[in-house]
Structure 1
Amino acid sequence: MNYHRPGLDLAAAYRQACLAELQALKPGNVHVFADIGETKVADFAASAELSAPSIGRPGASVGARILGAIAATHRAIGWNTNLGIVLLCAPLAAAAEQGGVLRANLAVILAALDRQDAADAFEAIRLASPGGLGRADRHDVVAPPTVTLRQAMAEAVDRDRIARAYLSDFEDVFSTGLPALEAAQAAGLEGPWRTTALFMAFLSRFPDTHIARRFGPEQAEAVRARAAAIIETEPPGPASSATLLAFDAELKKGGLNPGTSADFTVATLFAAAIMRHPAATG
């Protein structure tokens, strides 16, 4: 197998993407400006460190990366801090090992997912016990899988944007996330503000499926529309701090956490880091 070239440290790139996301003001989500109740930034930072070795493990299958990352997190943290991030970043890491065109490699990786990948991912999901997961009529994670991981994701495609990514070859990362990151850079935004702009791009374009699972699609759409109105009036940047902090407080008061938008933010930062390396392209 053609592993990634020396110098492309996938574990380090993943860790940095996770930590960069925590440094950015992300309304409703966890960040250094405000924790959420008992949800602490330190737990998410620790989760990045704990899960990085499994995400970057050379030659590992997607399922093994997922299970290893979540098991390490679960042993130390004890609750779900990073399932969505891991589900998105594990296939990207596997694709990055091939060198060349990242999205083309990713399509191959996703098409080749097998039943063992599903078994490993199901076990990881059971460990993480994500909020709002519920039960499924078919391919429920409490039972041994009878299909591949991609086929299992197809069952949730209408209610979970991360599942949709497995069917669309990560369209949201490549068609929304990376262009938003490039636009933020072109606008002169730096560091955390570039990440805030990326997060707001996801939040304003798609109803967040973490919110939808907990509060229903109407509430998720209302948050999306509110985010779109905010960035249309006041694009993300230092001058928008007060507006975004007020939006942050508003969402947290209602318990509305756009976790899926945050997960895609990390995945996009990770993909961008991979593509900056000479061994990989878009």
Structure 2
Amino acid sequence: MDPVFIGKCAQIASVLEVSGHPKPGNVHRTQNFSDMVFEDFLLSGIAIGKTMEKAATKGFDLRQSPEKWQEIGLGNLILESVIETDRWVANNTNLGIIMLLTPICAAAGMVENLSDLRSNINQIMISTTPQDAVNLYQAINIADAGGMGEQEDLDVSSDSSTQKLRDEDINMFSVLEMSSSWDDLSYELTHQMPVTFDIGFPLFAKIKSEHGINEATVQTFLTILAEVPDTLISRKYGKDKAREVSSHAKSILEEGGILTKKGHHLLEKFDHELMKNGLNPGTTADFTASSIMIAYLHSYNDYKSKISE
């Protein structure tokens, strides 16, 4: 698959995710946070494009050599994207999105048939190295992602952790697997992306074809939130609060979500309530972006036919 196309898909997924309105509890086209605004997310989505294209190129170059997939340098690519984002915006707008989209881009570069995409993502993750883990830790620290990676063993904030990763030959996959019991982003990356592929992508593709991009983005976000209590909320306010937010999202879906007048009204009220109480389903936003990314990768044949005209 063409790396240029893949890099554009990553940018598109990033900017469409943040543009979804009203995406409850998050920055969107009519709503900012006090420390980051809508335009910050647009800048971030554009800024990562070149590195995502680079990830796809590395995947393309190594597509016939699975034994060399550790040479992709996934951790370094994540770090590069975070550093580039940091040049344009002051706060962490997209670390989770970068972590999800980077292996997707590398795997997409390897394939023409997307039926192999998911298994390749998993194999790329398994093939990561201790240096990838070290680079991921550096990326997390640069992004200042509160709570991510904080654990008794191999804490990202500990100076001794990076040396331990090297000394004990602990790769990035293993580090994320250690966090997967309490962090859904880590679980996603170590269990073949079930939220992205099984929930988000098929729903986004269906709703987009029937109702349009914004409706697909918001309905996908709401559905993921209803089914998967948000890790960021859980980390800040506890699991019970995260489940409560998910239950509220489910009740809005039962009224049609953004696809009905009543559901849309309830959605706007939900957005206001979450913002008022500082409840930000940030991990859900990350999963929405990865779901959009997979949907746009599936438009590759249409893209090829148009550029050949």
Matches within 5 A, 1:176-191: 176-185=199-208, 188-191=210-213
Is 1:276 aligned to 2:299, yes or no?
A: yes
Indicate conservation of the 8 Å contact 1:193/1:238, yes or no.
Answer: no
Q: Match of 1:56, SS?
A: helix
Counterparts in 2 of 1:1-40, with a 5 A limit? 4-5=1-2, 9-25=5-21, 26-40=23-37
Structure with larger Rg: 2
Matched residue SS, 2:123: helix
Pick the aligned partner of 1:56 from 47, 53, 57.
Answer: 53
> Paired residue for 2:151?
136
Amino acid at match of 1:56: E
Q: Tell me the TM-score normalized by structure 1.
A: 0.92
Q: Determine the C-alpha separation between the residues in 2 that align with 1:134 and 1:54.
A: 23
Gaps of 5+ in 2: 59-71, 303-309
**How many Å separate the matches in 2 of 1:155 and 1:266?**
24
> Which amino acid in the other structure matches residue 118 of structure 2?
R
Higher relative contact order (CA 8 A, sep 6+): 1
Q: Secondary structure at the match of 1:265?
A: helix
Q: How does 1:130-209 map to 2 (within 5 A)?
A: 130-133=145-148, 135-142=150-157, 143-144=161-162, 145-146=165-166, 147-185=170-208, 188-209=210-231
How many residue pairs were aligned?
A: 274
Matched letter for residue 108 of structure 2: A
Residues 110 and 169 in structure 1, CA contact (< 8 A), matched pair in contact too: no
SS at match of 1:9: helix
Of the candidates 245, 254, 259, which is equivalent to residue 232 of structure 1? Answer: 254
| Structure 1 residue 238: Cα displacement | 5.9
Provide the aligned C-alpha RMSD in A. Answer: 1.7
| Alignment deviations for residues 65-98 of structure 1 (CA, whole Å, 9 cap, x no partner) | 2001001111221321100000100110010010
Aligned-pair CA distance for 1:171: 1.2
1:259 counterpart residue number: 282
What is the CA distance between 1:63 and its match in structure 2?
A: 1.2
Q: Deviations for 1:116-173, whole angstroms, at most 9, x for unmatched residues?
A: 2111111100101112337312122232124100100011111111100122111111
Runs of 4+ in 1 over 3 A off after TM superposition: none
Q: For 2:172 and 2:288, locate their aligned partners in 1 and report how far apart those are by CA, in whole Å.
A: 23
- What one-letter code is carried by the residue in structure 2 that aligns with 1:54? T
Within 2, Cα distance between the matches of 1:205 and 1:165? Answer: 14
The letter for the 2-side match of 1:200 is L
**Contact 2:205-2:295 within 8 A present in 1 as well:** no
Q: Deviations over 1:3-28 (max 9, x none)?
A: x336x522211111111112212100
Structure 1's 201 and 117: CA in aligned 2 closer, same or farther, altered over 3 A? same
Judge conservation of contact 1:22–1:31 (CA < 8 Å) in 2. yes
Q: Which runs of 5+ in 1 are unaligned?
A: none
